[in-house]
Amino acid sequence: MTGVGEGYVLQPGEGRLIDLGGFSMSVKATDEGTDGMFTLLEAEEPPDFGPPLHIHHGIAKAFYVLEGEYIIFIRGTETRCPAGSFIFIPAETPHGFRVGRVASRKLNLYMPASMVGYFDDLSKAMKTVDIAPSLSCLEGADSKPDLIGLDDAVEGKLDQVSGFFNRGGRWSDE
């Protein structure tokens, strides 16, 4: 992509693809193209997918639901968000999400620009090592979020966490 002063246009379907196993992300804008102001990713995710509860330090996040439905968890509140919903999550805020019963798409906006390196590292790790039950292979990754409650999952639920990643982010095969 070009520098921020030049501007650019991406047509539908354009953007660098990041393969994350059971789902993918398309990079629409990065720190290079926005002078570090924001990153924009388009995520296509399978039913029931969702990361553990987590926090982004120093990074605010917004979602815009394009298709399907997401269940958003912010500070203990659960909200169903169909297509057309906008979600803003301030930095340092515990949050998570789960895709509804159908495959869904959303835009992920990170401010300031971040997370592309994290998703690139995650993609590489998923292709080369069994990342579950440990995410230690991502130590030092760009903007790696802090996972909340992972200790509980690791203590006695390693098989569930391993299965989550091995099924592309689904908690069950159903």
Which of 20, 38, 12 minimizes the C-alpha distance to 115?
38
**Cα Rg, the chain, nearest whole Å:** 16
pLDDT in tens, 111-159: 999 999 988 988 888 887 654 434 443 444 455 566 655 444 333 333 4
Superfamily for 16-166? Answer: Jelly Rolls (2.60.120.10)
pLDDT in tens, 87-109: 999 999 999 999 999 999 999 99
Per domain, the residue ranges of the chain are 16-166
31 Rama sector, left if φ>0, alpha if ψ -120 to 50, beta otherwise: alpha
How crowded is residue 110: how many other Cβ atoms within 10 Å of its Cβ? 22
Determine the pLDDT at residue 114.
92
Determine the pLDDT at residue 129.
63
The token pair that represents 71 in the structure block = 């269940």
**pTM score:** 0.74
